[in-house]
Amino acid sequence: MDKDTIISLLKQINYPGYSRDIISFGIVQDLTISNKQILVKLNLQKDNKDLENIKNLIRNSLNKNYQNFDVSFEIISSDKANSKSAEINALKKVKHIVAIASGKGGVGKSTTTVNLASILSRKYNIGILDLDIYGPSLQMALGCNKKPLMNSENMLLPIDSHGMKTMSFGFINDESAPTIWRGPMVSRMTEQFFTQVDWGELDILFLDLPPGTGDIQLTLVQKIALSGAIIVTTPQDLALLDVKKASDMFGKLSTPIMGVVENMSNFAIDGKIYDENNNLVNGKIKINDKFYKIIDGKVVIDIDIFKGKGGIDESKRLNVPLLSRIPIKSELAEATDNGTPYVLMHKNTHIYDCYKNISNIVISQLGL
C-alpha cells in the first residue's frame, strides 16, 4: 500500500452533487500512512455542509480496502483565524477574500477575475478590488468610468458594475496621469482600499493583484487573512519562471492555493457539424492525426499555439488542481476591451464552461 494507490481509490469518489472527483476538486490536500493509520488532510472549511458526507465516503472506501487501518482526518482549511481581517471594520461582513495572482504580467489575471466573478455574482454577493496601482484595468474590463462617492462616514462607496461591487485606482485617478509612487506610498494606498471602502456584505471579495511579489503583495498578506489564492499562468516555460515566485510567496505566507488557471492554452475552434439534411450529427473528426468527438453536432478542436505545460506543471508542483485551460479566442479579448464580461454574452460556449468549472471548484473549496 502506498499513497498513490490510496489517491487512485479516492479519485473514484465524486464531490457530492458533482460529477467531478474529490482529488481533481483539490479537496484532498495530502495524506500520510503510518502505524496502521491513514491520515487524510482535507482542504475544506470546518463549516462546509458537505464535510461529514465527504469524510464518510472516504472512510467507507478506505475501510473497505484496508480493513486493518484506522482512518482519521485533519482539516487544512482556509477558515484560519480571521483576526487580521476582523480588525478592519470595512471587511467584517466579507466572508471570503480570494486573490487572483501571477508573478508575470499579461497572462490574463484581470480577464480571469472579471469572468469568474461575473458567473458567481448570479448566486452570490461578489466584489472585485483591482490592486494594480500602476496599470489598473478594471474600469475598461467592466466598461465603468464612474467616480466613487463618499458616504456620511467618509468611506468610499464601491461602484456597482454588472451587479458586482467594484473598486480600482483607475476609478479615482486620471487615466492620462502617470503614476510614479515609491513603496511606502503604494503600501498606504493598498491599505486604504481595505480600510476606507464600505464593502458591506460580500460572500467573496476577489483581489486582482498586479504582477510581481513586491510592496502590494506584502502589504496584503500582512493586513488581510486570505481565504485562498488562484494562480494564473500561460503555457510558456518563460512565464512559469515568474509564476513560481508568486506561488511560493503564498506558500511561505501560509495562504492556501486553490488551483491554477492556464490562459492562452490553445486555439479552440468551437463549432457545430450538420449532415446533408441539416441534422446535427454524432461521431468524430480527424485533424492532424488527432480525433475529436462530435456530440449532438458540437465539436471543440484544440490547436496548441504556444509550446509548454505551464499550468499542468505548476499544478503538479503545488499539488493543487488545474482549474481550467482557457483557449485563445478573439471574442474573449473583445469582450474585455468593450467592457462587458465574456460570460455574460456567450453562455453556450466552451470558454463559458471553463469559467463555470472554475466557479464550481471555488465554491466547493470555500464551502458556500
Q: Is 18 helix (H, G, I), strand (E, B) or coil?
A: coil
Is residue 185 over pLDDT 60?
no
Q: What pLDDT score does 350 carry? A: 86
Q: How confident is the model at residue 1 (pLDDT cuts 50, 70, 90)?
A: low
Q: What is the pLDDT of residue 80?
A: 45
Residue 185, SS3?
Answer: helix
Mean of pLDDT over the chain = 81
In 3D space, the residue among 25, 24, 22, 37 whose CA is nearest the CA of residue 71 turns out to be 37
pLDDT at residue 182, as a whole number: 46
Q: Half-sphere exposure of 15 toward its Cβ, with a 13 Å CA cutoff?
A: 23
Model confidence pLDDT, tens digit, residues 168-180: 887 776 554 445 4
Query: What is the reported pLDDT for 204?
Result: 94
Judged against a pLDDT cut of 80, whether residue 241 lies above it is answered with no
pLDDT at 41 over 60: yes
Query: Is the per-residue pLDDT at 217 higher than 80?
Result: no
DSSP 349: S
pLDDT at 78 over 60: no
**Per-residue pLDDT for 28 more than 70?**
yes
pLDDT over 50 (residue 336): yes
pLDDT value of residue 177 = 47
Provide mean pLDDT across the span 53-59.
Answer: 91
CA distance 289 to 346: 30
The pLDDT of residue 123: 93
What CATH code is assigned to 3-75? 3.30.300.130
For residue 215, the model assigns a pLDDT of 61
> Which segments within 143-296 are labelled E, that is strand?
159-161, 164-168, 202-208, 228-233, 257-272, 283-287, 290-294
Q: What's the pLDDT at 236?
A: 75
Q: What is the mean pLDDT of residues 234-261?
A: 76
- Whether 216 shows a pLDDT value over 70: the answer reads no
pLDDT at 176: 47
Over the stretch 11-22, which tens digit does the pLDDT of each residue have? 898 888 766 788
pLDDT beyond 90 at 209: no
Say whether pLDDT at 115 is over 90.
yes
pLDDT at 315 over 90: no
Domain ranges, ordered by start, for the chain? 3-75, 83-268+298-366
- Tell the CATH topology of 83-268+298-366: Rossmann fold (3.40.50)
Tell me how far apart the alpha carbons of residues 317 and 322 are, in angstroms, rounded to a whole number: 11
| 206 vs 246, more confident | 206
In tens, the pLDDT along 256-311 reads 888 889 888 788 777 888 988 999 999 988 887 888 888 998 888 877 777 766 67
- Residues whose CB is less than 8 angstroms from the CB of residue 109 and which lie 6 or more positions away in sequence, other chains included: 100, 101, 102, 208, 209, 232
Number of C-beta neighbours around residue 289 at 10 A = 5
Q: Mean per-residue pLDDT for 22-45?
A: 83
Q: Tens of pLDDT along 121-163?
A: 999 999 999 887 666 778 788 888 788 888 888 888 888 989 9
Distance in angstroms (rounded) separating the CA atoms of residues 84 and 212: 23
Rounded Cα–Cα distance for residues 65 and 188 (Å): 56
How high is the pLDDT of residue 252? 65
Confidence of residue 328 (pLDDT cuts 50, 70, 90): confident
